[in-house]
Amino acid sequence: MTRSSVRFLHRGEVVSLTDVGANETLLDYLRLRRHAYGTKEGCAEGDCGACTVALGTLQDGGLEYAPVNACICLLGMIDGKELVAVEDLAGANGALHPVQDAVLRHHGSQCGFCTPGIVMSLFTLYHAGGRADRQAVNDTLAGNLCRCTGYRPIVDAALEACDGTPRDAFAAHRANTTERLAALNDGEDIFIGDEEAGFLAAPATVDALARLYVRHPDATLVAGATDVGLWITKQLRALPKIILLGRVAGLAEMRETEQGFYFGAGVTHAQAEPAMAAIDPDLVELLRRFGGKQVRAVGTIGGNIANGSPIGDSMPALIALGTTLHLRRGQATRSMPLEDFFIDYGKQDRAAGEFVTGIDVPRLESDHVFRCYKISKRFDQDISAVLGAFRFTVETGRITHARVAFGGMAATPKRAAATESALRDLPLDDPQGWEAICKALAMDFQPIDDMRAGARYRLETAQALLRKALHEAGGTASTETRLVGLRPEDTERAA
Amino acid sequence: MPPEVLQAERTAPGDGNGAVGRALAHDSARGHVQGTARFIDDVPEPAALVHVAPGYANHAARGRITALDLDAVRAAPGVAAVLTAADIPGKNDCSPVFGDDPILADGFIAFHGQVVFAVVALSRDEARRASRLARITVDEEEPRVSVEAGLASGETVVPDYQFLRGEPGADMKQAPHTGSGSLHVGGQEHFYLEGQVALALPGEGGAMHVLSSTQHPSEIQHLVAAMLGKPDSDVVCECRRMGGAFGGKESQAAQWACLAALAASVTGSAAKLRLDRDDDMIMTGKRHDFRVDYSYGCDDTGRLVAVDGALNARCGYSADLSMAVCDRAMFHADNAYFYPSARILSRRVKTDTVSNTAFRGFGGPQGMMLAERMMDDIACRLGLDPLDVRKRNLYGRGRDITPYGMKVGDNILPRLVRELETTSDYRERRRGIAAFNGSNRFLKKGMSLTPVKFGIAFTLKHLNQAGALVHVYTDGSVLVNHGGTEMGQGLHTKVAQVVAEEFGIGFEHVKITATKTDMVPNTTPTAASSGSDLNGMAAKRAAATIKDRMAALAGRLYQVPKAEVRFADSTVTVGGQDIPFAELAKTCFLERVSLSSTGYFATPKITWDRASASGRPFLYFAYGAACSEVTIDTLTGEMRVDRVDLLHDVGNSLNPAIDIGQIEGGFAQGMGWLTTEELVFDAKGRLTTHAPSTYKIPVASDVPEDFRVALWKSKGNREPTIYRSKAVGEPPLMLAISVFSAISNAIASLNPGRVPALDAPATPETIARAIRSMQDA
Ligand SMILES: Cc1cc2nc3c(=O)[nH]c(=O)nc-3n(C[C@H](O)[C@H](O)[C@H](O)COP(=O)(O)OP(=O)(O)OC[C@H]3O[C@@H](n4cnc5c(N)ncnc54)[C@H](O)[C@@H]3O)c2cc1C
Ligand code: FES
Ligand code: FES
């Protein structure tokens, strides 16, 4: 069954649109079509959060509100969701929503341009459950830039309003909304447009996706659009054929396996967090600093991998962990070690019509030590200058085997082969002996200069990260080696 | 935690009903949180609107245009017109002062991103797409990109200028200790959240109404009129609010307003231009980056004997506001310290890059970096506590003449610094930091307490004036208009508080309207932190004029002297009678008394004469101090701010919530400037950090949880400013120098006696480089 409309819930009504442009963004829909000017455009590239709206989505049957950057979200992606924009918050009698009221009373707006987006991010925190602490507020606001206030009053407003007991209209309508969203999620394929001239398609099954993509290998797959969105808004690329992956049920699967965890390509960074936490806390910190909440809410593991950027964050960590990648084209499937997927800058081992179905990530063994560090100019929502990931197998104070991978050091995410072999048999109690190995990194990588960092800094920092990992593997607590992302075992010990 | 002062009842005395001095919410706060406060792009679009997008040569930074092929642009879908310099009927200039900024490049490209043509199309999307289809052939020349390259070529945008007292070269030689150094201070992108935008509405008989997100509506009016070849009276510029500006919409808004007006004039339709963020960052000017060189002589206690400083500013391709910016850098090269013998040289270096412009602090912050680096340099070399060095060098009795000859008459810094030293627990924490650094191998802490002294007034004398217009309606409601613009700083709120206070009516009865050149003419930019000093006073005078007339009438009717008529709590008390304010307003109308008045104010005492470098450039100084503690990771160069204490002087605060907001926001913005915000230009002169993905302003987690902000308990400004308040827009930005200095202090712990070669911004990479410099040799 195929449907030729996009349907979503807005202000208690089902909106059904048949005229959805394949490249039309949610922000343009709100501002240009609905003349709803509350949602602002500050950058049109997902980085400032001025355009933040909330999307109500069913997760395992329950209703959750996630912040999304409307500027790079395609309108078609909100099918089956509830759209909440800033105009929708105030009560019928004009009464402010609790987060709006708190931001106002705490003097949390100056010029007011960032404010609607901030209010929407806080709205999602208000509904996230549990009393918010400073860390939660910081994480919620990592994708919202404010140039005026210095954030303190906004943080105070959030701490006051987000007390874990939502009492707004959205909480009151929760059951009803859940029911209506369930009804909207009909499992039908969506196809709007024309096979030749261009279309917006949103298949509901992996099989349907496989068939469609083989027929249209020139189509653009879109998962979270946190990369593709910028091709549209910044490069002004015309992408006439769009296949949305968000409704493909099989792609969002996540399960525990014998060796570890399986993540479908469509699993978002936000969804992946609990399973990643079960592997290692450094992965949680890596995810925490992967974009902001808006990016993690829709950005997917498959998108990060398929995009193949040398500065993509998940790849070095997944490679160091020994991840296997799964691909499918039509009925044919194949698998490979993740590192083999990346051939060169902008070039991956992916055939026309082939797509990523998922990854298998092995869990750590008891003799494994895993460490991962992201270096960027700003801690939150920044792209890595260098990212290093290490998995050492340690036996009686000696490394017997190492997997080391870096981002930002070459044209692709890459393993450090020379370093890995130099690490073999290295004792962890003799820092003097490590220096030669740090030098081996210079044989593995010839990084480049760009706006994020110079080549020399990249190489020296990669060496420093290896040194740091070795110190930590040798027993130095992260409280002595890190400014952020302390490992829970160390903070517990310190406490 | 909210600062304590926000609990206070009132921070400034008034005699009306107490609107002044209260922590009232921003007048638009309700609209902000609901998304109903309208910015220009939110104004419902008129029918037949066309959209404008600028086009430029993506490959070239400098050179003669040999061919301009716009055929593909014209042929693109939706395109209504393509504008080039030849289409401008009047003057092709959008510069603030010197006439050297073409609206559209005419035959020559002077920097990468300079606008060569503009597309007018039926939708913004079509205009943007078409703008990329031009073929521009340029006879490319090697661009001068860095300040060094500019210095080497010897070209400047305005001549060198200097302050000289004594013979610093010779005096230095007599000093027991000397030192010298040099540092790069990076520029800064404004990153106002609302990008540049203008909407031009053609009117009758060639008139033009321009909505512009600008700090300077009068200048937009004048430039648009000159461009169209029309008298100023044909053009109205209006601005209700900006989504941030920070100096970036003082001169930089004009080009977009001119292009929108040109498109409207050519097509006869309303025309809107809203810049894409990347274009905005590439095409508009930024804070000047500087190379600061200094040498000094001091005594054994670290007290300065002589200073020789050079401020080399990268101005870009044109003068823009660089003369005044660089002058202000010079006026602040002493910050809070007495230089017995001094030379302050300023070079306004020309480069083939976008013309740098106003940015909160207006050169002052860069100038202060000289003073503060020198303090850290002395402390390192002499092994002294940096705070002791700073305190010894503060202005004081008998040591109170600045290098430009003005006496520092209202100096509260010695007391203010002492108080912050106590409340921040400086000495105890200093010991803790030493212990931490002794026992930690990889992580090192640093701390610094730095003062700020910032001169208030435009250094160009004629800008120190303002006008206001107040109407009282017969129902007692009041409408205020003034020449200042609202960019989030709360100016309209403060001015309305002043007017409410004057009339003794509730704040909610005072209506604030958009700044508009047909309401109050010939205004000056809202800049130099002067907005409420100037406009507050002008509005007060306008209100006072009306009040005086109302009082005279009431006195006449009730047969009491008008001096005995009291206005408070929306009531006029006269001869034992209470009359509602509205009733008296109505009576005034019936008795034919005018209820409308203008008000005008010109700042007194300003006598600065640039040619002779003498006289008084400032009415007063704003003061503050900050103590910041940081930790660095010596392996990677990463840095975290652990605690910040701010103590700032706003005189009597007109609105403590707004003032605290300016202090905290200014501090965070300054911290970004000195830490994460890095502008990178490639060798071809192209800005490579032209998006928020690569240019990183602070986010919530960059502001420390332990952030203690307080207002100095002032007895009021010594000068008779509006309710004896002090300007607050810019000075707090410079409190962030304490963060930079604290980072330097942490690095200094690695090798006592050596001065860290730390440049700004202190990114992880810059910090790592400075750490390396401590270990080398
Ligand atoms: C503000 C911001 C911050 C960011 N921060 C980070 C960061 O910290 N670290 C980082 O690594 N990245 C970051 N990114 C980049 C981006 O978010 C990630 O790469 C993300 O994982 C992409 O996922 P997506 O689902 O949004 O991909 P999309 O944009 O939907 O797609 C990306 C690419 O993958 C292809 N694709 C998607 N799914 C599949 C599939 N199943 N099979 C084959 N091809 C597929 C698409 O066709 C496209 O080529 C950031 C982006 C933004 C806008
Ligand atoms: S407009 Fe900046 S994130 Fe969408
Ligand atoms: S209030 Fe101006 S950007 Fe946040």
At B15 the pLDDT is 66
pLDDT band for B531, please (50, 70, 90 cuts): confident
CA of A117 to the centre of ligand 2 (A): 9
The tens digit of pLDDT for each residue in B537-572 reads 999 999 999 999 999 999 999 999 999 999 999 999
**Domain-located, residue A347:** yes
What pairs with residue B571 in β-bridges?
B568, B580
Clarify whether B705 is annotated catalytic.
no
> Cα angle at A150 between A145 and A154, to 5 degrees?
80
pLDDT for B695-734, tens place per residue? Answer: 999 999 999 999 999 999 999 999 999 999 999 999 999 9
Phi-psi region of A384 (alpha: psi -120 to 50; beta: other; left: phi over 0): beta
Residue B451: asked if its preceding bond is cis (omega within 30°), the reply is no
* Same domain membership, residue A155 and residue A37: yes
CB-based contact, A231 to chain B, within 8 Å: no
The Cα of B12 is separated from the nearest Cα of chain A by a number of Å equal to: 19
**Which residue from A39, A110, A155 is facing B490, i.e. has the nearest CB?**
A110
Chain B interface includes A464 (CB < 8 A): yes
pLDDT at B419 over 70: yes
- Of A314, A342, A362, the position where a domain reaches its end is A362
Which residue shows structure tokens 């890059």? B353
User: B29 vs A112: CB contact, 8 Å cut-off?
Assistant: yes
* Residue whose entry in the numeric block shows the structure tokens 């990592």: A142
Residues in contact with A319: Cβ distance below 8 Å, sequence separation at least 6, in sequence order: A337, A338, A339, A389, A403, A405, A413, A415
In the reported structure, the alpha carbon of residue B76 is separated from the centroid of ligand 3 by a whole-number distance in angstroms of 37
Three-state DSSP class for B237?
strand
Q: Render pLDDT for A185-234 as a digit per residue (tens, 0 to 9).
A: 999 999 999 999 999 999 999 999 999 999 999 999 999 999 999 999 99
Q: E strand or H helix at B124, and its extent?
A: helix B124-131
Look at residue A7 and tell me if it is in a domain.
no
Give distance in angstroms: CA of A72 to centre of ligand 1.
12
Q: Which of B443, B665, B768 sits opposite A148 (nearest CB)?
A: B665
pLDDT tier for residue B1 given thresholds of 50, 70 and 90: confident
Q: Would A335 be classed as within a structural domain?
A: yes
Residue A30 sits in the same domain as residue A177: yes
Task: Please give the Cα distance from A196 to B445 (Å, whole number).
Answer: 63
Determine which of B701, B702, B707, B773 to mutate to test the interface with A (most A C-beta atoms within 10 Å): B701
Residue corresponding to tokens 């109407």: B471
* Same-domain pairing of A226 and A321: no
Which chain A residues are Cβ-neighbours of B700 within 8 angstroms?
137-138, 141-142, 144, 151, 154-155, 380
A349 with A442, same domain? no
How confident is the model over A395-406, as a mean pLDDT? Answer: 96
Helix axes of B364-382 and B737-748: crossing angle, nearest 10 degrees = 20
Which residue among B23, B42, B699 sits closest to A141, beta carbon to beta carbon?
A: B699
Question: Which of B128, B245, B769 lies at the smallest CB-CB distance from A236?
Answer: B128
- A397 CB less than 6 Å from ligand 3? no
**242-261 in A: which are within 8 Å (CB) of B?**
none
The C-alpha atoms of residue B654 and residue A372 are separated, in whole angstroms, by 50
As for the ipTM of the complex, it is 0.97
Given the residues B9, B155, B730, B765, select the one marked as catalytic. B730
| Structure letter (DSSP) for residue B33 | H
- The residue segments making up the domain with residue A95 are 23-183
* pLDDT of A494 higher than 80: no
| A179 and A223 share one domain | no
Say yes or no to pLDDT of B777 above 60: no
pLDDT per position as a tens digit, B296-322: 999 999 999 999 999 999 999 999 999
For range A303-311, the mean pLDDT: 96
d(CA A226, CA A298): 7
Question: What percent of chain B lies above the pLDDT cut of 90?
Answer: 95
Scan for tokens 């960019």, then name that residue.
B487
Domain containing A433 — which CATH number? 3.30.390.50
Would the CB atoms of A105 and B696 count as touching at under 8 Å?
Answer: no
Are the Cβ atoms of B664 and A149 closer than 8 angstroms?
yes
Ligand 1 center to A110 CA (angstroms)? 33
Q: What is the pLDDT of residues B27-82, one digit of tens each?
A: 999 999 999 999 999 999 999 999 999 999 999 999 999 999 999 999 999 999 99
Contact A480 B633 (CB under 8 A): no
The two tokens of residue B40 are 């220009």
One domain, residues A263 and A357: yes
Same domain for A27 and A135, yes or no, is yes
Quote the minimal CA–CA distance from A292 to chain B in Å. 11
Residue A152 and residue A204 in one domain: no
A385 and A461, same domain (yes or no): yes
- Tell me the one-letter amino acid at B370: L
Q: Say if residues A298 and A268 touch (Cβ distance below 8 Å).
A: yes
Q: Is it the case that residue B630 has pLDDT exceeding 90?
A: yes
Segments in B144-216 forming alpha helices (H): 147-153, 168-174
A169 falls within a domain: yes
Please report whether residue A113 resides in a domain.
yes
Residue pair B234/B225 in contact (Cβ under 8 Å)? The answer is yes
Q: Does residue A5 form part of some domain?
A: no
Considering the domain architecture, whether residues A113 and A50 belong to the same structural domain is answered as yes
Give contacts of B665 with chain A, Cβ < 8 Å.
110, 147-150
Consecutive H or E run containing B115: strand B115-121
Q: Establish if A10 belongs to a structural domain.
A: no
Which of B30, B443, B702 lies closest to A378 in CB terms?
B702
Q: Say if residue A166 is in the same domain as residue A29.
A: yes
Residue B339: closest CA among B268, B251, B399, B392: B399
Domain total for chain A?
A: 4
* Cα atoms in the Cβ-side hemisphere of radius 13 Å centred on B308: 14
Domain limit, last residue, from A157, A183, A209? A183
Ligand 3 center from residue B191 Cα (angstroms):
10
Mind telling me how many Å the CA of B394 is from chain A's nearest CA? 29
Tell how far CA B258 is from the center of its chain: 23
List pLDDT tens digits, range B384-409: 999 999 999 999 999 999 999 999 99
Whether A265 maps to a domain, the answer reads yes
Residues A157 and A32 in one domain: yes
Question: Domain end: A156, A183, A210, which one?
Answer: A183
Q: Which of residues 137-166 of A touch B (CB under 8 A)?
A: 137-139, 141-142, 144-156
Q: Least CA distance to A291: which residue of chain B?
A: B693
Which CATH number is A131's domain given? 1.10.150.120
| Structure confidence by residue, pLDDT tens digits, A447-493 | 999 999 999 999 999 999 999 999 999 999 999 999 999 999 998 87
* Bridge partners, residue A336, by sequence: A325
Q: For B464-501, what is each residue's pLDDT tens digit? A: 999 999 999 999 999 999 999 999 999 999 999 999 99
- Residues forming a β-bridge with B237: B210
B440 neighbourhood in chain A, CB within 8 Å: 480
Task: Tell me what pLDDT residue A495 has.
Answer: 63
User: Which residue, judged by its Cα, is nearest atom 31 of ligand 1?
Assistant: A303
| pLDDT tens readout for residues A244-303 | 999 999 999 999 999 999 999 999 999 999 999 999 999 999 999 999 999 999 999 999
A224 lines ligand 1 (CB under 6 A): yes
CATH code, domain with A352: 3.30.465.10
- Work out which ligand 1 atom sits closest to the CA atom of A269: 21
Q: Which of B28, B190, B193 to mutate to test the pocket of ligand 3 (most atoms within 8 A of CB)?
A: B193
Concatenating the DSSP letter of every residue in B425-451 gives: THHHHHHHHHHHHHH-SSEEEEEEEEE
Cα separations in angstroms, B111 against A475, B116, B135, B143, B249? 54, 11, 17, 8, 20
Chain B interface, best mutation among A451, A467, A476, A484, by max B CB count within 10 A? A451
Mutate: best of B1, B6, B32, B33, partner A, most A CBs <10 A: B33
Query: What pLDDT does residue B13 have?
Result: 75
Return the minimum-mean-pLDDT range out of A142-151, A427-436, B61-70.
A427-436
